[in-house]
Amino acid sequence: MDLSDLLVPDAVKVFGNMSSKKRLMQDLSDIVCSAYGVCPVNAVDALQEREALGPTGVGHGVALPHARLKDIDRVVGVFVRLEKPMAFDSVDRQPVDLVFGLFAPEDSGVAHLKALALVSRTLRDPGVCAKLRANSDSATLYTVLTESESTRAA
């Protein structure tokens, strides 16, 4: 599994100022709707339910909100770079500016966990994160995310 299997160029966005975590979840849901045809109401509800179990801010400015949904047939992702970091209740209490949302079928099991591990590994790489933070063009961000896996494998 590669990030290019989870992510399409239309699912990568840059936002300036995000007013709240709830607004961010709504925007992630809108992106997954426009890029993959997922019901945004179901997506935002599932993200908020998961977030209520514990924050998905993993530290170093990265958040990995994720949810399982009835209305999709494969694991898909959305990526957002925030130009202004926001509070996210992260484990290290640092604001978040790199957000990778994952949406998986309810019965995805191992595929969901593998996708989460792949995204987590990618966004733990300080070089990848530096490149993501240095760019504001969605197409460039998509390239950084999807090409980073081939350079790590080499």
Q: What pLDDT score was predicted for residue 44? A: 94
CATH second-level architecture of 3-153?
3-Layer(aba) Sandwich (3.40)
The residue extents of the domains of the chain are: 3-153
At residue 48 the predicted structure's pLDDT band, cuts being 50, 70 and 90, is very high
Residue 154 has pLDDT above 80, yes or no: no
- The tens digit of pLDDT for each residue in 127-136 reads 999 999 999 9
Residue 76 sits at the vertex; the CA angle it makes with 71 and 82, to the nearest 5 degrees, is 120
Q: CA torsion angle for 148, 32, 107, 21 (degrees, to 10)? A: 90
Q: CA torsion angle for 109, 115, 121, 127 (degrees, to 10)? A: -170
66 is catalytic: yes
Contact assessment for residue 93 and residue 145, using Cβ atoms and an 8 Å cutoff:
no
The catalytic position among 66, 68, 81, 112 is 66
Residue 73 has pLDDT above 70, yes or no: yes
Chain-wide mean pLDDT for the chain?
Answer: 90
| CA pair distance 24, 86, nearest whole angstrom | 10
Q: Beta partners for 62?
A: 59, 98
At residue 153 the predicted structure's pLDDT band, cuts being 50, 70 and 90, is very low
Residue 122 has pLDDT above 60, yes or no: yes
At residue 148 the predicted structure's pLDDT band, cuts being 50, 70 and 90, is low
